Amino acid sequence: MGTERKTRRKECSWFGFYLALSLVGKHVVAQIRYSVPEEVKDGTVVGNVAKDLGLDITSLTDRRFRVVSGSKDAFFDVNQNNGALYVGRNIDREELCQGSGACLMELKILVENPLEMHYVTVEITDVNDHSPSFPEKDQRFEIAEHTLPGKRFQLHTARDPDAGINSIRTYTLTSNEYFTLDIRQSDEEKIPFLVLKKSLDREQTSKHTLLVTAVDGGKPQRSGTLNVSIIVLDSNDNRPVFSQEIYQISIKENVPIGSSIFVMNATDPDEGNNGEVEYSLGKTLKKKVYDIFDLDKLTGVIRIKGAVDYEENDIYKLDVGASDKGQPPLTGECRVIIKIIDVNDNPPEIEVTSLSDTVSEDSKLGTVISLLSVTDKDSGVNGKIISSITSDVPFELKPSYKENIYSVVTKEFLDREQVSHYEITIKATDCGDPPLSTFKTLSIQIADVNDNSPQFSQNPLQFYLVENNVAGNSIFSVSATDNDLNENAAISYHIVGQGTESGIISFLNINPDNGQISALKSFDFESMKMFQFQVVATDSGAPSLSSNVTVNVFILDQNDNAPVILYPVSSNGSAEGLEEIPLTDHSLFGLDRYTGQIRTLRSFTETDEAEHKLVILVKDNGNVSLSATATVLVKVVEPKEAFASSDVKSAAKDDEENNVTFYLMITLGSVSVLFLISIIVLIAIGNMPEDQCMSDKP
């Protein structure tokens, strides 16, 4: 059994070695081996990991070393500054490792900045700190005097927890004429037998006292003794005999409690009570054996009475005795070796040894975010593990050269604006039948970097501003958005101008925090119809990103100019108080409201006044209507008198009349022109787009 276990371990070691040769990755770790005797003082330095890794100890500043937590790591610790590996507490090899094989402890050393995992194997060497000891100080045999020479009696087996040369090497027996000592090798144990070399004579000596000494191979040697008492009896001269001295059976670890696993059978040729056999387990077995196995003393059936766990112990050795009921009773012995067969009753375990739960979105491909190891307590194919990432994420598992050690790395570029959080589900499945699986979920947050510039909803922007705005008031606002977070998305605004438009920005002010734009002057449609400038939006990232937008501002007209009458000069720019305008005679004259023509409504009579005074009112069609007035004087002249007077009127009088006529013509023409202008303005306002009309409102 021991040879098979060694062969299996060797095959696993070669398997791991070839696997390591086949793995290619960025994070190759070193394998370091040290040895240290057991029982050394706390603080004893085993070796320097930094030095053995080829690191310059004198230049270590920000690199740190630590032992990753594990089941046996507490026995050792590492100086985080210089990498010295030292003993943390007392080491008892016999407590840690049973048997004579090499006692190896594997440590995981994590080196930071950059993050590396190294594996250190420490062999605990044995010192001869235990003496051989027998389970009992005395052993008693009752031997019939007719027992033939050559009869063998199994002695208690001494035990020495030390290993190798420090374990038991031989047994010695005090010199006597009746007994000799024979040592039989069984696996790793030496079993002493007392051999009768000369027939006993109870009448000469009824009791023999012998001293058996177990000696180890240490320097200096240590030993333990067993007092053997031989009681010489008469009669019953046949002992029960088993068909074999050693039986080997195999059972599965999940065998049900109460199951019968083997039947012992010993025969005794004697008759009556001397041939009746009772079975019993040896008294010096480990307590666990009595908790798991039960032997029926009459039938010899071995049954399971406690849980069998391969991971706790894979082999049990039972010493079974068969005694007859003779006087004195005779006993035969044999050994039953029970091998435990592993079944797949343990799922894999996933241990996260290191995790960066926040990853920058600009991380390079292959960036390591976590280190983990998977283990399975089962053996053989039941302990072989297949690991994978089951979720659809931009990460993958990279195997290490050491079996079942993995790193989680990025396999695609990350974008926080698309996905800000990932749940990475890792599945570990063994190769048993049926297979068992374990899942582990890593929660990863993606950290923002400033990779998005502010953006305006459209470019260019158009705004309509009614003239005569109040200086200092807000006229409109611009807004940009940034898909980044926090400072990377904090936007400030400022205005820039180009060429001929650069002067206009001196009359504008923008709130850098919210994009509100105020005019520092009042604009006049009659002076400026539109202007253009640019607004730049800049985020607060490092380095900052920016974008700009062109803003076109159109000035809308307001009815802020009253009509102007060029002739006559006696005009009033206000319509107030003109609701009742006195006319000479409403029945004589009429006024066309669109053309401004003054015409007579009837013929003049002798009773009509010779001179008439007309007041003309001109109004526009603005929201708030503006107006102007003019006074027209009309003189009535008889035709005959006009021709007669042409001979007697002086040149001065003729000139005066001609001037009056000229002024009347100018007045009529001016009114007509103003009327046409009003019509054109009304048509233009009627064709104005609805959104521009809306912007006229305060």
Nearest to 349 by CA among 444, 429, 432, 254: 429
Q: Which of 237-241, 476-480, 599-603 has the highest mean pLDDT?
A: 476-480
| Model pLDDT for residues 27-44, shown as the tens digit of each residue | 445 578 888 888 888 888
Residue 219 has what pLDDT? Answer: 85
3-state helix, strand, coil in the chain (%, to 5): 15, 40, 45
Residue 20 has pLDDT above 50, yes or no: no
Taking the C-alpha atoms of residue 326 and residue 222, their distance in angstroms, rounded to an integer, is: 40
DSSP letter string, 479-520: -EE-SS-GGGG-EEEEEE--GGGGGGGGGEEE-TTT-EEEES
Q: Read off the pLDDT band of 175 (50, 70, 90).
A: very high
Nearest to 215 by CA among 166, 251, 252: 166
Average pLDDT of span 1-7: 40
| Structure-model confidence comparison of residues 620 and 500, the more confident one | 620
Residue 346 has what pLDDT? Answer: 92
Encoded tokens for 267: 């025969």
| Structure-model confidence comparison of residues 669 and 642, the more confident one | 669
Taking the C-alpha atoms of residue 425 and residue 423, their distance in angstroms, rounded to an integer, is: 6
Residue type, 158: A
Average pLDDT of span 459-473: 89
Residue 192 has pLDDT above 90, yes or no: yes
Residue 106 has what pLDDT? Answer: 85
358-360: strand order across its sheet: 358-360, 437-447, 421-430, 385-389
Residue 586 has what pLDDT? Answer: 66
> For the CA atoms of the chain, what is the radius of gyration?
58
Residue 319 has what pLDDT? Answer: 93
Say if CB 124 and CB 75 are below 8 A apart.
no
Residue 567 has what pLDDT? Answer: 58
- DSSP-assigned letter for residue 133: B
| Model pLDDT for residues 342-390, shown as the tens digit of each residue | 999 999 999 998 888 899 989 999 999 999 999 999 988 999 999 999 9
In this structure, are strands 491-496 and 266-267 parallel, antiparallel, or unpaired? unpaired
- CA distances to 65, 71, 86, 104, 113 from 44, rounded to whole Å, are 18, 21, 5, 18, 27
Residue type, 568: P
Residue 694 has pLDDT above 60, yes or no: no
| Structure-model confidence comparison of residues 432 and 621, the more confident one | 432
Residue 691 has pLDDT above 90, yes or no: no
| Model pLDDT for residues 83-130, shown as the tens digit of each residue | 888 888 888 887 777 766 778 888 888 888 888 888 888 888 888 778
Instruction: Lowest mean pLDDT of 46-50, 251-255, 329-333, 603-607, name the range.
Output: 603-607
Instruction: Lowest mean pLDDT of 427-436, 602-611, 643-652, 664-673, name the range.
Output: 643-652
The model's pTM is: 0.51
Domains and CATH numbers, the chain: 23-125 (2.60.40.60), 138-341 (2.60.40.60), 363-447 (2.60.40.60), 455-556 (2.60.40.60), 571-686 (2.60.40)
Instruction: Lowest mean pLDDT of 82-91, 223-232, 275-284, 405-414, name the range.
Output: 82-91
Residue 89 has what pLDDT? Answer: 83
**Residues comprising the chain, all counted:** 698
Residue 401 has pLDDT above 70, yes or no: yes
Q: What does pLDDT average to over the chain?
A: 81
Give φ, ψ of 487 to 5 degrees. Answer: -60, -35
Handedness of CA 560, 563, 566, 567 (dihedral sign): negative
Residue 685 has what pLDDT? Answer: 64
Say if CB 604 and CB 636 are below 8 A apart.
yes
Instruction: Lowest mean pLDDT of 197-211, 540-554, 555-569, name the range.
Output: 555-569
| Structure-model confidence comparison of residues 467 and 1, the more confident one | 467
Average pLDDT of span 274-293: 91
Query: What percentage of the chain reaches a pLDDT higher than 70?
Result: 83
Say if CB 398 and CB 372 are below 8 A apart.
no
Residue 576 has what pLDDT? Answer: 35
Average pLDDT of span 168-177: 91
Q: Read off the pLDDT band of 579 (50, 70, 90).
A: very low
Residue 480 has pLDDT above 90, yes or no: yes
Residue 12 has pLDDT above 70, yes or no: no
Nearest to 264 by CA among 229, 226, 295: 295
